[in-house]
Amino acid sequence: MPLLEVNNLTKRFGGLVANDRINIEIEEGEIVGLIGPNGAGKTTLFNCIAGFYTPDEGSVCFAGEEITGFPPERVCKRGIARTFQLVRVFKGMTVLDNVMVGAFSRIPDADGAREKALEVLEFVGELENKDLLAGGLTVAHKKRVEMARALATDPRLLMLDEAIAGLNPKETEEAVELIGEIRRKGITIFLVEHVMSVIMPISDRIIVLDYGKIIAEGLPQEIATNEKVIKAYLGERYRAAS
Amino acid sequence: MLSQLLISGFLMGLIFSLVAVGLTLIWGVVEIVNFAHGAFLMLGMYATYWLYRLLSIDPLFALPICTILLFFVGIVTYRLMIRRVLTAPMVAQIFSTFGLMVFLENMAHFLWSSDYRLIKEPLVHGRLEVFGLFISKPQLVAAAGAMVATGLVYWFVTRTQTGRALQATAEDKEAAALMGINSDRMFALAWGIGGACAGAAGVLLANFYFIFPKVGDIFNLTAFVVVALGGFGSIPGAFIAGIIIGLVQVLGGHLVAPAFKSVIVFIIYLVVVIARPQGLFGKF
Amino acid sequence: MTDTLRQRLIRQRLPWPAIVAGGLVGLFILAFPFLFTRPFPQHLMILIFLYGVLGQAWNLLGGYAGQVSFGHAIFFGIGAYTSTILLSRWNVNPWLGMLAGAAVAVLVSIIIGYPCFRLRGHYFAIATIAAGEIIRLIFVNWDWIGGARGLFVPMLDESLLNFQFHTTKAPYYYIALTLLVASILVTRWVERSRPGYYLMAIREDTDAARSVGVDATRYKLFAMIISAFFAALGGTLYAQYLLYIDPDSVLPLALSVRICLIPVLGGTGTLWGPLIGAAILIPMAEFTRVYLGGGGGGIHLAVYGALIMLIAVFEPGGIMSLVKRFRKRRT
């Protein structure tokens, strides 16, 4: 049984079909990449799975149970955590407090949540910043804090919306390493990236979205040579390689 | 009796429209609610009153003067205050214009006392009789003026180069900036036009309405309702919703009890924002 | 956040002077009615405590959870009216009336909060104005509860049980102080436990908070309920203290504004902000009223307005953020 199962999911905005009959299965322990040109409907799909949008048709099942239309907080309790495309930390709170908010979803008392948060902060390598205000960090640090906040909820599935985009080469390397470590903890990862080159080496499998539809699915090397994919990316002025 | 009420509700509604157009424009472009909008209207009324009392300028001729005056009040408000809270937490934005309202109203109270004032003999006065219905001439002039002003704003926003730039800024700041539109100037302009709308409405009202420091409150609250009903940022929406609210007020006052006419209007606000947050119409 | 700051302060500074100073301030506050026996200073302190409670009530919802309410007079007024009506109609003891008032206020807060919490930011703030005005207009036109004329609280014998004192203000002082301490303790508890973290997360970014399991509506309601509860207790205290209430004194928009201004000045989302705000604003308002006579010609309210603007523009964190910055510079 797959961990996440998206069946025939459709989401429309007015006349625009942002997601058109999407079918996805993700097995426990996998790293699955979702790519596609700008406006292909990647973030919309994330929002439908995470409960921020209610799909117009179709269903989302997680660990064998239907979660379609659940509000985000319930989706989180089931074991799906996410980050946002434009990083969204709690700016006016410290790094530690940010992550504690995540930890509170499993641990009701403050001391326990603090302990858990410190543990996660150490794991992502942000422990030394724990007392700084999250709003004052650089984007790379914010992204890691956001990831720590999501990890503190003890997810089975972590959805990363452009966790790498906008980072410099060194930061990218660190982020890729971190994603690998998260997977080693047994957490399944579903990640969105706009730029193909960063997602290829870390994903077990890639799904390509264009105009709301899945146009290709397969191993990274298959995708890299898939003509439809190349066309979709070329059509958008960006080259597949960039 | 009923048609008499409907006429006066309709005429008042046109003024609500004009006040709301200014509010909705600022809201749509700058994404800040101007709690001081009613206070701008009050300033327009007092300016008209003092021009009349001290310089014997009739409200009709005061119209351009006060409109321009309030245009600059809007711009100054933006330049001195709003610009500094654009990226501030929303709470700070709310309190900045709310503080401005409290400040202006109470300064007016302090400077000009809380007395109710009235312009006693404006150029336009008396009433018309049409098919047995009485229509107050100042109210008719005010309603016509408000309609023209609303039309002008709409024309400006949809038909002129600058107006389109304003619209583009409202749609998407970053995209507008890429097209070379200076959003800072557009914001200032939105505040200027917003202030001018409130000012013009103030002048038109001053012809027949009591003038006192808190006169703006009720227009302010009504304008919020109109904006919500018409859809935040929509000028045609505000125009139609203003008339609807004007009619609802007189009808509600007539059918339920005069004391409850604002209660009905506020209930409409709550119902609209909770049940249909996008209002009855779209943006622009 | 303040947690670690405070711990650090306790650890780094010499604890003795701090404890002694705190103890002295505590003693001074407890002994105040004996040191200052004239009515005016006591009256001033009672008002500071009362507004401290109201400000703290607002702070839980507006400061921690970031839901700006311009309608808190609703709960204050409901507290005042409930106990007064129960007492004058059915001779219900004011203490019971106080609890009943709080219960009614909590109920009303749920009725208002549940639908309105779907609104965000400005829309919510305006909705609270609308709700406040609806309730005020209903009270003004409702003859059974005195309408615009208001209600006199029936005179009872002076005793703690009756919640009335005619020869001295000191008992009111201690009751107000108790309420204030209770409101601060509850806020402190909230601040340091899960609800407090959740409320701040909701304020900072509601969607992000929901994505990590925060049931935003539920926690906003939680804040609203505690907030309404304390505001209503303050309302009964006010009614029993002044023995006369009318819609203009316990329900106007201006009161709601004053209530939110206090934590805004002192520092929203901080434990001591509301008390600091009350300790500055209330004496200022009382003195301008005394010295500028009667209505004060609106000048003190104009100063209020200017203050709100200046704080919003230059120091959105209020006085507490000035204090924090000052501390940081010294350590």
Give the tens place of pLDDT for each residue, A178-227: 999 999 999 999 999 877 777 888 899 999 998 899 998 989 888 888 88
C193 and chain A: CB distance < 8 Å anywhere?
A: yes
H/E run at residue C81? helix C73-90
CB C138 within 8 A of CB C130: no
Question: Which residue of chain B comes nearest to C128, CA vs CA?
Answer: B270
For C252-268, what is the mean pLDDT?
89
Number of domains comprising chain B: 1
Collapse the DSSP code of A210 into the 3-class scheme (helix H, G, I; strand E, B; otherwise coil) and give the result.
Answer: strand
CB A95 within 8 A of CB A134: yes
Q: Domain of A26: which CATH number?
A: 3.40.50.300
Answer yes or no: is pLDDT of A229 > 90. no
Residue B44 lies in a domain: yes
For A133-153, what is the mean pLDDT?
94
- CA separation, residue C23 to residues C19, C20, C30, C36 (Å): 6, 5, 10, 19
Chain B interface, best mutation among C74, C134, C288, by max B CB count within 10 A? C134
How far is C207 from A237, CA to CA, in rounded Å?
33
pLDDT of residue C13: 54
Which residue type, as a one-letter code, is found at position A129?
A: N
Domain coverage including residue B181: 14-214
B182 and chain C: CB distance < 8 Å anywhere?
A: no
Q: Which residues contact B1 (CB under 8 A, 6 or more apart)?
A: none
pLDDT (tens digit, 9 = 90+) per residue, C42-98?
Answer: 999 999 999 999 999 999 999 999 999 999 999 999 999 999 999 999 999 999 999
How far is A217 from A229, CA to CA, in rounded Å?
10
Number of domains comprising chain A: 1
Question: Which residue of chain C comes nearest to B102, CA vs CA?
Answer: C305
- Residue with tokens 């009943």, as numbered in its chain: C100
CB C191 within 8 A of CB C2: yes
Exposed e or buried b per residue across B122-160, where buried means at least 16 C-beta atoms within 10 angstroms of its C-beta: bebeeeeeeeeeeebbbbbbbbebbbebbeebbebbeee
Give me chain A's average pLDDT, please.
Answer: 90
Residue B80 lies in a domain: yes
Residue C174 lies in a domain: yes
Q: How confident is the model at residue C32 (pLDDT cuts 50, 70, 90)?
A: very high
- Percent of chain B, pLDDT > 90? 45
pLDDT of residue A240: 42
pLDDT (tens digit, 9 = 90+) per residue, B126-151?
Answer: 787 777 788 888 889 999 999 999 99
pLDDT of residue A235: 60
Please state the φ and ψ torsions of residue A94, each to the nearest 5 degrees.
-70, 165
Domain coverage including residue A213: 1-70+193-242
For C227-237, what is the mean pLDDT?
97
Residue A199 lies in a domain: yes
CB B194 within 8 A of CB B25: yes
Structure tokens at B6: 């409907």
Reported residue count of chain A is 242
Structure tokens at C102: 């709080």
Residue C10 lies in a domain: no
Task: For strands A31-35 and A188-193, give the pairing.
Answer: parallel
Q: How crowded is the C-beta side of B230, counted as CA atoms within 13 Å?
A: 35
C123 and chain B: CB distance < 8 Å anywhere?
A: yes
Q: Which residues contact A221 (CB under 8 A, 6 or more apart)?
A: none
For A16-33, what is the mean pLDDT?
92
Q: How confident is the model at residue C258 (pLDDT cuts 50, 70, 90)?
A: confident
CA distance B107 to chain C (A): 6
**Best-predicted range by mean pLDDT (A92-96, B83-87, B94-98, B214-218):** A92-96
Residue B235 lies in a domain: no
pLDDT of residue B59: 86
CA angle C135, C136, C139 (to 5 degrees): 85
Residue C21 lies in a domain: no
Q: Which chains touch C (3 or more CB pairs under 8 A)?
A: A, B
Q: Which chains touch A (3 or more CB pairs under 8 A)?
A: C
- Judging by beta carbons within 10 Å of its beta carbon (0-12, 13-18, 19+), is residue A165 exposed, middle or buried? middle
Answer yes or no: is pLDDT of A17 > 60. yes
- Residue with tokens 């209007």, as numbered in its chain: B265
Structure tokens at B248: 């609802």
Residue B195 lies in a domain: yes
pLDDT of residue B44: 95
Question: Which residue of chain B comes nearest to C141, CA vs CA?
Answer: B259
CB C280 within 8 A of CB C265: yes
- Residue with tokens 């998206």, as numbered in its chain: A6
Per DSSP, C63 falls in state I
| Residue among C115, C118, C137 minimizing CB distance to B262 | C137
In this complex, do B114 and C130 lie within 8 Å of one another by their Cβ atoms? no
B128 vs B199: which has the higher pLDDT = B199
CA-wise closest residue to A93 among A29, A48, A145: A145
CB B236 within 8 A of CB C94: no
Give me chain C's average pLDDT, please.
Answer: 89
Give residue B242's Cα distance to chain centre: 10
Residue B9 lies in a domain: no
- Judging by beta carbons within 10 Å of its beta carbon (0-12, 13-18, 19+), is residue A46 exposed, middle or buried? buried
Neighbours of C53 (CB within 10 A): 29
Number of domains comprising chain C: 1
Domain coverage including residue C295: 39-330
Answer yes or no: is pLDDT of B281 > 70. no
Please state the φ and ψ torsions of residue C293, each to the nearest 5 degrees.
75, 155
Question: Which residue of chain A comes nearest to C196, CA vs CA?
Answer: A101
- Judging by beta carbons within 10 Å of its beta carbon (0-12, 13-18, 19+), is residue B231 exposed, middle or buried? buried
Structure tokens at B15: 């003024």
Residue C8 lies in a domain: no
Chain C interface, best mutation among A67, A97, A129, A132, by max C CB count within 10 A? A97
Three-class secondary structure assignment of chain B: CHHHHHHHHHHHHHHHHHHHHHHHHHHHHHCCCCCCHHHHHHHHHHHHHHHHHHHCCCHHHHHHHHHHHHHHHHHHHHHHHHHHHCCCCHHHHHHHHHHHHHHHHHHHHHHHCCCCECCCCCCCCCEEEECCEEEEHHHHHHHHHHHHHHHHHHHHHHHCHHHHHHHHHHHCHHHHHHCCCCHHHHHHHHHHHHHHHHHHHHHHHHCCCCECCCHHHHHHHHHHHHHHHHCCCCHHHHHHHHHHHHHHHHHHHHHCCHHHHHHHHHHHHHHHHHHCCCCCCCCC
Collapse the DSSP code of A82 into the 3-class scheme (helix H, G, I; strand E, B; otherwise coil) and give the result.
Answer: strand
Answer yes or no: is pLDDT of A68 > 50. yes
- CA separation, residue C134 to residues B266, B267, C251, C253, C260 (Å): 7, 8, 10, 11, 19
Interface of C with B in 247-266 (CB under 8 A): 253, 257, 264
In this complex, do B263 and C138 lie within 8 Å of one another by their Cβ atoms? yes
Could you report how far apart the first and last alpha carbons of chain A are, in Å? 36
- Judging by beta carbons within 10 Å of its beta carbon (0-12, 13-18, 19+), is residue A196 exposed, middle or buried? buried
Structure tokens at B143: 């309603």
Question: Which residue of chain C comes nearest to B223, CA vs CA?
Answer: C126
How far is C331 from C325, CA to CA, in rounded Å?
10
Residue A120 lies in a domain: no
Rg, chain C, Cα only: 20
A65 and chain C: CB distance < 8 Å anywhere?
A: no
Residue B208 lies in a domain: yes
Per DSSP, A74 falls in state H
Neighbours of B45 (CB within 10 A): 31
Q: Which chains touch B (3 or more CB pairs under 8 A)?
A: C
How far is B82 from C172, CA to CA, in rounded Å?
43
For B25-49, what is the mean pLDDT?
93
Residue C125 lies in a domain: yes
Interface of B with C in 91-110 (CB under 8 A): 91-96, 98-110
Answer yes or no: is pLDDT of A129 > 80. yes
pLDDT of residue B269: 86
How far is A202 from C323, CA to CA, in rounded Å?
48
How far is B109 from B42, CA to CA, in rounded Å?
11
pLDDT of residue C54: 97
Supply the ipTM of this predicted assembly. 0.92
Q: Which residues contact C97 (CB under 8 A, 6 or more apart)?
A: C82, C83, C84, C86, C87, C236
Q: Domain of C146: which CATH number?
A: 1.10.3470
E-assigned strand segments in chain A:
4-13, 16-26, 31-35, 57-62, 65-66, 80-82, 157-161, 188-193, 205-210, 213-218
Give me chain B's average pLDDT, please.
Answer: 88
pLDDT of residue A234: 62
How far is C46 from B245, CA to CA, in rounded Å?
44
How far is C102 from C95, CA to CA, in rounded Å?
11
CA angle C70, B88, A144 (to 5 degrees): 120
